[in-house]
Amino acid sequence: MSSERTAGLTSRVAEFVAAASWQDFPADVVTVALDHVLDSYGVMLAGVHSDPARIVREVYGARPGKSSVLGTGARQDPIGAALANGVAGHALDYDDTQLSTSPEGVYGLLTHPSVPVLAACTAIAEETGASGRELLTGFIGITGPGFTPPAPSAPSGRPLAPASCSGCTRSGWPWR
């Protein structure tokens, strides 16, 4: 994929996320999102004492910040918290899976869309003092109403969601 085409796709995704508003989401979308959020926090907590999660916390080290490393009582900078929580969420492989919705694609994309985005959104929301509604707006904006996005698997997906939930406008993003 050419860098020009990638920049165009990233720009379109950034515009979609920047335009996302809490009022745009139907109640059933919010309900599904909350199910994914609760599930993801649960698997992050379940994996917090796993070897991979422990190793990541030890290697990254303690760096001051306001973001929670779930299940430890520790606060960290947003990068360290997102990394630690993301690894914990994947460690036991219980996080949500994007299954197929059609007979032609029996296995779907087999991605785990919620944990990476939610770990990043949560860390940035805590660091910036964003509200729960702002966090959910960023999460839903990037994962999409049907939870079938290409973006969380792309390099741009994870930074876009926290930028959105922290109130950053598209003009302040490097993907202009």
Domain boundaries, the chain: 20-166
pLDDT score recorded for residue 38: 92
pLDDT score recorded for residue 171: 52
Supply 93's token pair. Answer: 């492989």
Q: Could you give the CA distance from residue 112 to residue 93 in angstroms, rounded to a whole number? A: 9
Ranges of residues in the chain with a pLDDT under 50 are 146-156, 173-176
Q: Which residue has the tokens 């299940």?
A: 71
Q: Could you give the CA distance from residue 170 to residue 176 in angstroms, rounded to a whole number? A: 7
Residue 74 φ/ψ, nearest 5 degrees: -85, 150
Supply 91's token pair. Answer: 């460690």
User: Which residues are paired to 75 by β-bridges?
Assistant: 68
The pTM is what?
A: 0.76
Instruction: Please answer whether residues 83 and 117 qualify as being in contact, where contact means their C-beta atoms are separated by less than 8 angstroms.
Output: no
pLDDT score recorded for residue 150: 39
pLDDT score recorded for residue 151: 42
pLDDT score recorded for residue 18: 72
pLDDT score recorded for residue 166: 61
pLDDT score recorded for residue 44: 95
Q: Could you give the CA distance from residue 79 to residue 123 in angstroms, rounded to a whole number? A: 7
Q: Could you give the CA distance from residue 144 to residue 108 in angstroms, rounded to a whole number? A: 16
